[in-house]
Structure 1
C-alpha cells in the first residue's frame, strides 16, 4: 500500500505530461497543415496541390489516425476500441487518397514541364512512402475482418501493424522534412520560419514513436 501511495504522484505527473504532449501534437499538426496550405495556395497552380495534399495526408490525417489510440490524447477515447479501429482505417484511407492525388499532381506537373521524375531524395522517398502507406492500409483489413487472417492471433497482428505503421509514419515525416529542403519552400520562407517548420514533423514523429513503443513494444513503466 505504501508503494502505491509513493508512486501515485509519479502516475499523475506521467499522465499529465502525456496529455500535454498529445494536445500539443494535435495543435502542431493542425497549425503546420494550415501554414503549408496558406503558403502553397492550393488551386493557384497544378504544383500547389502537391505540398497541400501531401501535408494533409502525412501531417494531419496520419497523425490524427494514430492519436485516436492515445489513452491521453484521443478525441474519441470513450468509444470502444473496435470503433476507434474503424475510424482509424477511414482516416488512413483518406490519407492514402490525398497522398496518391498529391503524387499524381507533381508527376503530371513534371510531365507538363518536361522535367525528370523522382531524381531527388524527396521525390524518391516520397514515392516509396506513398506505396508503403497504401500497402499498410490494405494490410490492416484483417484487423477489421479477423476471419481473413487464418492462423494469426489478433494480438500478433496488432503488434506487426503497429511496428509497420510506425515505420510508415517515420517515412512520411522524413519525406515532409525533405520537402522543406526543396527550392520551392526555401524560396517561400526565410530565417527562423524554416527551423520552426522543420520542428513540426520532427516533434510529432517523436510523440508518435513514444506512443507506439509504449503501447506495443515497451514494458509498462508502472508495475508494482
Structure 2
C-alpha cells in the first residue's frame, strides 16, 4: 500500500514539475524575444537619429566648424560609442554569437574610434567659440568630454585588469569603467537633445521632427544603458558582499 502511495506521490510530483518547467521556459522565450526586439529597436532609432543629423550637417551652405563638430560628435557618441556598449550585450544582433574575448576587442576598438571622433569634434567647437559652456547644451557637452576622456584612460586598466591586479583590483576598474562610460554616453545624448531643440535645427527640420529626434535619442539611450547599469549593480553588490 505504501509503495502504491509513493508511486502516486512521485507521479504527481513529476506532473507538477512539468507544469512548473513549461511556464518558465515560455517565460524565458518571451523575455529573449523582448530583449531582441528592444535591441533591434535601438539600432533603428540610432540609424534614424544619426541619419537626420548627417542630413542636417550636409544641408545647403559651407562646411564650417559647427557642422564638423556635429558630424564628428554624433558619429562618435551616438553611433560608434553606442555600438561599443551594445557589443557587450548578450542580446545584440551582430555580436551575440561572438566569444567574450572578441566582444571585448570590438568594444575597445569602437570605443577608441568613437571617443577620438567625439573629442576631436568637441575641441573643434571649443576653438571656434570665444565663450564656452554658457548653455545647457555646452555644459552637458563638457561633462561628456570629461567622462569620455576619463573612461578611455580607465578602459586601459579595465582591459589589462589581470596584469594590474596587484595595483588595482580588477572588479573595481571594471565598475568605474562602466560608471564613467555610462555617464559620458548619457551626457552626450542629453547634449544632443538640447542641440535638436536649437532654433537653427527646428527651423530646418520643423518642430515636429525636432521633438521626434529628441524622443528617439532618449529612447535608444534608455535601452542601451540598461545592460551596463545591471552589470554595475551586480558587480557593486558582489564587492560589498565580500
TM-score category, normalised to shorter length: 0.7 to 0.9
Does the Cα contact within 8 Å between 1:32 and 1:200 map onto a contact in 2?
A: yes
Q: For 1:55 and 1:39, how far apart are their aligned partners in 2?
A: 12
2:186 aligns with 170
- Structure with the largest fraction of helix: 2
Is 58-67 or 173-182 further displaced after alignment?
173-182
Counterpart of 1:128?
Answer: 143
Match of 2:240 in 1: none
Higher gyration radius (CA)? 2
TM-score between both structures, scaled by the size of structure 1: 0.87
Match of 2:40 in 1: 23
Greater displacement, 36-45 / 139-148? 36-45
SS in 2 for 1:18: helix
- 1:23 to partner: Cα distance: 0.9
1:140 and 2:155 matched = yes
Shift of 1:78: 2.1
* 1:222 corresponds to: none
Distance in 1 (CA, whole Å) between partners of 2:155 and 2:70 is: 27
Equivalent residue in structure 2 for 1:96, among 115, 121, 124: 115
**TM-score normalized by the length of structure 2:** 0.81
Contact 2:147 2:181 (8 Å CA) reproduced: no
Contact 2:178 2:228 in 1 (8 A): yes
CA gap 1:179/1:191 in 2 versus in 1, 3 angstroms = closer
> Hey, what's the Cα distance between the residues in 2 that align with 1:149 and 1:26?
36
Matched, 1:33 2:22: no
Q: Aligned residues, how many?
A: 215
Distance 1:11 1:131, change over 3 A: same
Is the 8 Å Cα contact of residues 96 and 134 (structure 1) preserved in structure 2?
yes
**Is residue 96 of structure 2 the alignment partner of residue 77 of structure 1?**
yes
Indicate if the aligned counterparts of 1:125 and 1:175 stay in contact, CA closer than 8 A.
yes
Instruction: Name the SS of the counterpart of 2:66 in structure 1.
Output: coil
Q: CA deviation at 1:123?
A: 1.1
Task: Report the CA distance between 1:218 and its aligned residue.
Answer: 5.6
Match of 1:66 in 2: 85
For residue 54 of structure 1, the aligned residue among 61, 73, 95 is 73
Note the alpha carbon deviations across 1:3-49, whole angstroms, 9 max, x for none. Answer: 22221111111100100110111121122111101111186222211
**Structure 2: runs of 5 or more not aligned:** 1-16, 236-242
| 1:205 pairs with one of 221, 226, 229 | 221
Name the stretch that deviates more: 66-75 or 210-219. Answer: 210-219
Q: 1:128 to 1:156 in 2, by over 3 A?
A: closer
Give the RMSD, CA atoms, in angstroms: 2.1
